Amino acid sequence: MKLAINGGKRSFDSEPESMFHWPIVTQEDIDAVIDVVKSGTMSGTVITKQFEKEFAAWIGSEYALGFCNGTSSIEAAMWACGVGAGDEIICPSMTYWASAAQALKLGATVNFCDITPDTLTIDPKDIEHRIGPRTKAIVVVNYAGHPADFDSIVPIAKKHGIKIIEDNSHAQGSLYKGKFTGTIGDIGAMSLMAGKSFAIGEAGIILTNDRELFERAVLYGHYERTGVPSRFNPVDNELSYPELAHFKGIPIGGMKGRMNQTCSAMGRVQLKYYPDRIKVIQESMNYFWDCLADLPGLHPHRVDMNEGSTMGGWYYPQGLYRRNELRGLSSDRFSKAVNAEGIKWCFPGGNSPLHIHPFFNESDLFHMGKPTAIAFGQRDVRQKAGSLPVSESIHEITVAVPWFKHLEKNVIRSYADVFRKVIENADQIPSK
Ligand SMILES: *Cc1c(COP(=O)(O)O)cnc(C)c1O
């Protein structure tokens, strides 16, 4: 069969956008948001606290704390875990910048580690040798919904007395052996922004069972919860530790982290339906991958559901691309052949590795005339290209595939048929 990239007939004239439409918004969401706007309570915390309580109950966490975005929630989590000037965190290089960049703002540096090519999450074998006297935390990213290998990671952190911060921005609702990700480390922080699978605007949330970490996160960016009277909120004091409580009224992070209540109001509505809606996504994505099960070159990035693990809302689905099974065809050429058939969402996947970005190597945030990564006496753990081979090959070993939100098997099968056609005829695809 002649592929479209070689002048054959395209498989799709137009794509059914409804398959990808997300989040699902009903009148109930709209009413909840409008109520906040009409009552002028955007800056309040009453609804946000209800949302936190419900989110925590769903996911099985003692405490939850809403934030204005995921980036600020991760920053507060780092500070809560004691990350400060001269310290180090360990973080996989292949992730979004906001898993790690805030460490520099705290005067710390990032010792980047590699991922495994099948899970795309932190490689447990690349952690321990990076731990130094100033290592305060390991940031574990449940990448593209895939839970990290916690059975291997948790004992390493325990042994060295280091905190685990989960960046769960891709994985709201993912299970690791029956337990929700975001609740397995000492503290979970995550984005709930509009593009994520739990999508309620610009928002973030922290989860922890540790009262002290919770209070430190409050102190970092939630002055309105430290016992000061406020026009928008009843007097509210979340700080019970005497050494924290006297910081009444000014957040130690010098920032405001509170969530806009249009977001938390929508969050309360979304949460009611989210568990059922992500089950549909899981069935849809699993069906897509099952359709391609016998083929070489492109393999599913997913978990063993028999172990009680899931991919949550399956944010940013990835195919594990193995060019050696397709006569060396590059991920880029493969994707272009799929695009030519009429599927737009297919391209070399993942996130670009962070350890070689100038931000982590050269940027001088504090105008000190030297890179922030070493300006506070941190160990110089900066790494050159070639040091983290799996992360550096990410665009070659992954291909982003369509994210089906709705279980319409005939439509999903027609997509899978296009991938099948390209794989079965891969030898026709010119390498340039
Ligand atoms: C989206 C994202 C963030 C940042 O969250 P924002 O809400 O955009 O600030 C952090 N980490 C990861 C892995 C993300 O995907």
Question: Is the distance from CB of 190 to CB of 167 less than 8 angstroms?
Answer: yes
Tell me the best of 165, 169, 315 to mutate to test the pocket of ligand 1, counting ligand atoms within 8 Å of each CB and taking the most: 169
- According to DSSP, residue 195 is labeled T
Q: Which of 49, 136, 163, 196 is catalytic?
A: 196
Q: Identify whether 38 is a catalytic site residue.
A: no
Atom 5 of ligand 1, nearest CA residue? 70
Nearest to 11 by CA among 374, 419, 350: 419
State which amino acid sits at residue 403. Answer: W
* Cα 330 to Cα 431: distance, rounded to the nearest angstrom: 7
pLDDT above 90 for 245: no
* Percentage with pLDDT > 90 across the chain: 94
Atom of ligand 1 at shortest range from CA of 203: 7
Atom of ligand 1 at shortest range from CA of 204: 7
Please report where in the chains the tokens 């593009």 appear, as a residue.
195
pLDDT digits (tens, 9 = 90+) for 339-366: 999 999 999 999 999 999 999 999 999 9
Atom 8 of ligand 1, nearest CA residue? 70
CA 220 to chain centroid, in Å, comes to: 22
Tell me the best of 99, 140, 141 to mutate to test the pocket of ligand 1, counting ligand atoms within 8 Å of each CB and taking the most: 99
Atom of ligand 1 at shortest range from CA of 69: 7
Query: Between the CA of residue 394 and those of 109, 119, 337, 404, what are the distances in Å?
Result: 23, 12, 19, 23
**Helix H or strand E encompassing 275:** helix 261-291
Nearest to 112 by CA among 126, 98, 133, 132: 126
| Helix boundaries (H) for 209-260 | 211-221, 242-245
SS3 category, 98: helix
Nearest to 277 by CA among 148, 414, 403, 412: 403
* Cα 220 to Cα 238: distance, rounded to the nearest angstrom: 12
* Cα 397 to Cα 342: distance, rounded to the nearest angstrom: 22
pLDDT digits (tens, 9 = 90+) for 108-135: 999 999 999 999 999 999 999 999 999 9
Q: Tell me, what's the pLDDT at 289?
A: 98
State which amino acid sits at residue 78. Answer: M
Residue 418 CA, ligand 1 centroid: distance in Å: 31
pLDDT above 90 for 1: no
Phi, psi of 166 (to 5 degrees): -90, 125
CA dihedral 360, 120, 329, 353 (to 10 degrees): 0
Q: Tell me, what's the pLDDT at 131?
A: 98
* Cα 87 to Cα 110: distance, rounded to the nearest angstrom: 9
Go through the domains of the chain in sequence order and give each one's CATH number: 27-269 (3.40.640.10)
Q: Tell me, what's the pLDDT at 134?
A: 98
SS (H, E, C) 289-340: HHHCCCCCCEEECCCCHHHCCCCCCCCCCEEEECHHHHCCCCHHHHHHHHHH
Atom 6 of ligand 1, nearest CA residue? 70
Question: Which residues lie with the beta carbon below 6 Å from any ligand 1 atom?
Answer: 69-71, 95-96, 98-99, 141, 167, 169-170, 191, 193, 204
Whole-model pTM over 0.95: yes
Residue 263 CA, ligand 1 centroid: distance in Å: 16
